[in-house]
Amino acid sequence: MKPFPKSLQQKLQQREAHNALRKLPASSSLVDFASNDYLGFAHSETIFKATHQYLLENNIKTNGATGSRLLSGNHSLYQTTEEFIAEFHQSESALIFNSGYDANVGFFSSVPQRNDVILYDELCHASIRDGIKMSLAKSFKFQHNDIEDLEKLILKFQQPETRNSQPETIFIVTESVFSMDGDCPNFEELVALSEKHKTYLVVDEAHALGVFGEQGEGVVQSLGFQDQVFSRIMTFGKGLGCHGAAILGSAKLKSYLVNFARSFIYTTGLSPHSVATILVAYQQLAKEQSALKALKNNITHFNQEKNRLGLKPLFVYSKSAIQCAIIPGNERVKNMAAQLQEKGFDVKPILSPTVPEGQERLRFCLHSYNSEVEITSVLELLPTFVF
């Protein structure tokens, strides 16, 4: 075997020295406060059986897509599922991608053009940032959820003295629920700002699908702003419990992505089974609200209990399924997570450099299937470790 390159070995050693070396975890039977399976759909026997039955009833017995969607992989299930998703989300169109990462990279690498400007929240997901890096547009970050800072940047590019170098289009990019904080932007102010300055608002709803709204439709739609947003990215690996993603927007946007989004064009499509699972999961979301109600009750209970126990100062403000306690220091937060796991609770530490140094945290993901006793028990352990 060839020797491992020294430069790569040094990077691994640096991670280890900072107690930040990532390793693949083993599966466990601990109480789940770690997964993104907010509604329990990933383990739903109902969805599993309904997907199998759907494939049999429609005589679909193909294991793979056989190619990219532009060649041989665009099986009939795609159209059925995309039409259902578009109707569910009150969007003109939907285009399925193989993952949320693929969707973000495909969108941001192809849609903003050389003379455009992208203004993105500083805490946007890595997939958004990677897509932006591949774009020909100029990009600038604004302070997290800070409307005033965002408007300063917009005005900077709309000054009369810079008229000759003004961007063709300004894209504002944010998330409806931030994955490492669990907080949300003020969409009333954000949409008003976007309308005022005639910008194009793009929202990643990965952690809002299945959590917000009467049917789990996400934050934007639950507030009635779907027509004011240029595009929404819906990811299925969280609340929907399966895999893939869809970009929502106009029919023209869909046509553009089919022609220019490289992560869509140059990859094998999802299998019929994967697409059928997406369709059945959406159908379940549309007709069955018991899991969504249970999740919302658990979010309320978690917030009430952290207030009762005096833990509120530790936590980032959140009304979502993601609740984060700031515990500075990789070694300290890893040690606390290990102690919680020893007590039977699967709570994961989030380390720097995933989050900024000094912002390391315990990340609690709440689910419809967590009990109130489990929530109270895990929170009652925290003061014994922190204080």
Model confidence pLDDT, tens digit, residues 341-375: 999 999 999 999 989 999 999 999 999 999 999 99
Residues 236 and 334 in one domain: no
Q: Which of 266, 287, 308 is the last residue of a domain?
A: 287
Domain that holds residue 180: 62-287
Q: Which of 287, 314, 332 is the last residue of a domain?
A: 287
Residues 166 and 300 in one domain: no
Q: Is the pLDDT of residue 387 over 60?
A: no
Specify the pTM. 0.94
Q: Is the pLDDT of residue 47 over 60?
A: yes
Q: Is the pLDDT of residue 5 over 70?
A: yes
Q: Which of 262, 287, 312 is the last residue of a domain?
A: 287
pLDDT of amino acid 19: 84
Cα 360 to Cα 325: distance, rounded to the nearest angstrom: 9
| Residue 363 DSSP class | E
109 Cα distance to chain centroid: 18
Residues 208 and 174 in one domain: yes
Pairing of strands 117-121, 170-175: parallel
Q: Is the pLDDT of residue 211 over 70?
A: yes
Which residues lie closer than 8 Å to 214 by C-beta, 6 or more apart? 222, 289
